[in-house]
Amino acid sequence: MARDDARTIVCFGDSNTYGANPADGARWPRSVRWTGVLRAALDDGFEVTGVPHRLRGGRIDAAGDHRIAMLGAVAGVCSQQGVVIEGAEALAISFPDFAERLASVSS
């Protein structure tokens, strides 16, 4: 059940993420989709939903937070058009060679 203060995790992917049955195009019940299983495993207060396509891309402001910069970098690798990270220098706070390592595993 959705709560007003629920935090939402949006998972982008293929038919397994969205829960589409390839035989007829109908959606599997939420309880058997992997996103539903994840939701059941998380603490109360999380909603998990699947979207049947990859992220488009965009822009994110890390605002000096290395964790947000890392999130933007990973999202960029997974997206269709990439992500511009304002304040990417924040990566140097905890993982100075993060960009190089990410590039090495995503090519």
> Can you give the residue ranges of every domain in the chain?
7-51, 58-106
At residue 15, the pLDDT reads: 63
In the chain, what percentage of residues exceed pLDDT 70? 84
For range 11-36, the mean pLDDT: 77
Q: How far apart are alpha carbons 13 and 18 in whole angstroms?
A: 7
Instruction: Give per-residue pLDDT as tens, 24-58.
Output: 878 888 888 877 888 888 877 777 777 767 778 89
Give me the amino acid identity at 89. E
- The DSSP 8-state label assigned to residue 4 in this structure reads T
Q: How far apart are alpha carbons 25 and 41 in whole angstroms?
A: 27
Instruction: Give per-residue pLDDT as tens, 53-92.
Output: 777 889 999 999 999 899 899 888 888 889 999 999 999 9
* Helices and strands (H, E) in the chain, number of each type: 4, 4
64, 87 Cβ separation under 8 angstroms:
yes
